[in-house]
Structure 1
């Protein structure tokens, strides 16, 4: 009979014991009767069971190992993107597109009434009255007039603005060195944001021209964004899409410089006054700080850029074909005066404050999702000994 059919000696010891060993049954120990030695040839059944247990244990161990391998393979691999690499800037570009495109589109009703009041201050007595009149005459679709060029235009602008800002901030910091970059960080923020917005407005301008014309008229002259671009190019050429680029730069570059520099400064001040370091706080707290800093920065942005915003609205609506830029600016200022440059400031503060706060919150949440540190509140570089 094969040896595999017999139990091992240690198994017999555990199960029965021997006459000479200490393992006795309870009854045998009481009676002091020695247990006869177990004959292996009579234990074929025990041999089969014992062998099956060994094989089952081996199979169980192998199955456990395979299961662990399967779990490890099923887990998603953590993607790590090196900071300041091409992929990092591409991710920031996408985050900026989300932050600006979604938020500007969401506040289209506010923007619509603001633009119409800037074009004709006597049109509505208040924002509430404006929305009521538009809704009664055009319905909900009328309140959302201009949403499509807003979505396309500010998605493109946000992508350029945030992506290039991250690039220029790093580049300018490297040029001056880490210690000077920290000492003059506000100057770095201002230079980086101005450079980024200059490029972003080139992407925004054609869509802004369509948006303002759609919103500035009581009845939109275009069916949509593409129809507006087609009609403008047909009647005025490519120059018609960019005739508002100078006032757009005048509005957006100071706006963005204030937006980024003040945001970074405010966030830095918040973390400086909180106990501990920035990294000690949860991601929820960090995005809350981003929203607070963005909202406060947005109020400053609205004040700084509002006169130019009024000019952009007026210029796209009233500039005559071939009319010189200086001529139309003088004509508009002569019509509205200095006080007219501040028409609609209240609603713009609410709109821009909310916009900027939400943009920074979305952008920094996206950075957290990608595994990047949030914007602002960075520790100063260590001094060289």
Structure 2
């Protein structure tokens, strides 16, 4: 799942910040953060989609029943959607974190870093979901109605033409925010604090760690972050799955439906299926942070401000 250092260097040829070449700053730096985030999210979500095909019925059964093209149904929107989302999520997180540091100053930001991690990730996820929602709506339509269109562009164009931007692409924006924002907040804050704790126990700084050691740290912190994020977002994930499968009563608001369903399910019902989801999300998150860190290093995008004590 994880690209090797040699592969990254061959595919992303950029100047090294070492020596006489200045490290990237400003827009150039954040563009690299965004690219690293885009790649890590597209790769991991694409891998999870392929894994689901293998686990649910298997590749051979899907091909026999629906043809080889069925394996790619929804893959285009998934890859494109999470490529965009990853760019806004990771690049945006770095941007808003730096903005907060500039406003409050490094010392005060360090003292309140948990709040900054939470706020930066929440804002970044909001804009990431704005980018993701149209492609996610297209993916859902292609999967639920195989004859709707032949691919991403066709499905996107038809929804835009027949339903418009708001109804066609953003009718599910609220539910996506309800699920994704708490998930992303937990994901980033736990990753940051876990990484800080691990490196502190090593008695070194990030700059002193070898690339392979830093990748291992990112994997370990990602597993912890993914586990916590899965637990935090599980109730919302369960409720949204139920909403997508059941039609609401005419005139009933989304909030009323959510409250009613939560009451019917209870605590036990809201956390049903948590075990498998923890495994999936922890794996996904660990992969994202490991790939993100490696690509940032290869791109020379190491100029972000650290506020960990």
Decide: shared fold, TM above 0.5: yes
Tell me what 1:250 maps to. Answer: 178
Counterpart-to-counterpart distance in 2, 1:328 and 1:234: 31
Answering whether residue 152 of structure 2 is matched by residue 225 of structure 1, we say yes
Question: Per-residue displacement from partner, 1:180-218 (whole Å, max 9, x unpaired)?
Answer: 111111111001000111111000011112223444x38
Answering whether residue 308 of structure 2 is matched by residue 367 of structure 1, we say no
Counterpart-to-counterpart distance in 1, 2:236 and 2:53: 17
1:357 pairs, out of 278, 286, 308, with 286
Give the direction of change, closer, same or farther, for the CA distance of 1:281–1:77 in structure 2 (3 Å limit): closer
How much does 1:317 deviate?
Answer: 5.6
Counterpart-to-counterpart distance in 1, 2:174 and 2:53: 22
The 10-residue stretch of structure 1 (370-379 or 151-160) with the greater mean CA deviation from structure 2: 370-379
Counterpart-to-counterpart distance in 1, 2:34 and 2:197: 26
Tell me what 2:26 maps to. Answer: 85
Counterpart-to-counterpart distance in 1, 2:140 and 2:260: 16
1:187 pairs, out of 88, 99, 115, with 115
TM-score by length of 2: 0.81
How much does 1:231 deviate?
Answer: 3.3
Show the 5 A alignment for 1:141-152: 141-152=69-80
Tell me what 2:227 maps to. Answer: 299
Give the direction of change, closer, same or farther, for the CA distance of 1:180–1:87 in structure 2 (3 Å limit): same
Counterpart-to-counterpart distance in 1, 2:42 and 2:49: 11
Is the CA contact (8 Å cut-off) linking 1:267 and 1:376 kept in structure 2?
no
How much does 1:175 deviate?
Answer: 1.4
1:203 pairs, out of 126, 131, 141, with 131
Give the direction of change, closer, same or farther, for the CA distance of 1:323–1:357 in structure 2 (3 Å limit): farther
Ranges in structure 2 where 5+ consecutive residues have no aligned partner: 1-13
Give the direction of change, closer, same or farther, for the CA distance of 1:84–1:309 in structure 2 (3 Å limit): farther
Show the 5 A alignment for 1:112-191: 127-129=55-57, 134=62, 136-138=64-66, 141-191=69-119
Counterpart-to-counterpart distance in 2, 1:312 and 1:132: 30
Give the direction of change, closer, same or farther, for the CA distance of 1:223–1:183 in structure 2 (3 Å limit): same
Counterpart-to-counterpart distance in 1, 2:28 and 2:232: 34
Question: Per-residue displacement from partner, 1:227-268 (whole Å, max 9, x unpaired)?
Answer: 322333344322221111001111111111011110000101
2:254 pairs, out of 326, 334, 356, with 326
Ranges in structure 1 where 5+ consecutive residues have no aligned partner: 1-75, 114-126, 381-385
Tell me what 2:217 maps to. Answer: 289
How much does 1:151 deviate?
Answer: 0.4
Counterpart-to-counterpart distance in 2, 1:140 and 1:227: 19
Is the CA contact (8 Å cut-off) linking 1:112 and 1:146 kept in structure 2?
no
CA RMSD of aligned residues (A): 3.3
Counterpart-to-counterpart distance in 2, 1:377 and 1:247: 33
Is the CA contact (8 Å cut-off) linking 1:95 and 1:363 kept in structure 2?
yes
Tell me what 1:119 maps to. Answer: none
Show the 5 A alignment for 1:46-57: none
Tell me what 2:276 maps to. Answer: 347
Is the CA contact (8 Å cut-off) linking 2:110 and 2:308 kept in structure 1?
no
Counterpart-to-counterpart distance in 2, 1:218 and 1:345: 29
Counterpart-to-counterpart distance in 2, 1:138 and 1:341: 33
Counterpart-to-counterpart distance in 2, 1:335 and 1:379: 41
Tell me what 1:271 maps to. Answer: 199
How much does 1:110 deviate?
Answer: 4.7
TM-score by length of 1: 0.66
1:236 pairs, out of 149, 154, 163, with 163
Give the direction of change, closer, same or farther, for the CA distance of 1:250–1:334 in structure 2 (3 Å limit): closer
Counterpart-to-counterpart distance in 2, 1:376 and 1:202: 26
Counterpart-to-counterpart distance in 1, 2:226 and 2:161: 37
Tell me what 1:96 maps to. Answer: 37
How much does 1:143 deviate?
Answer: 4.4
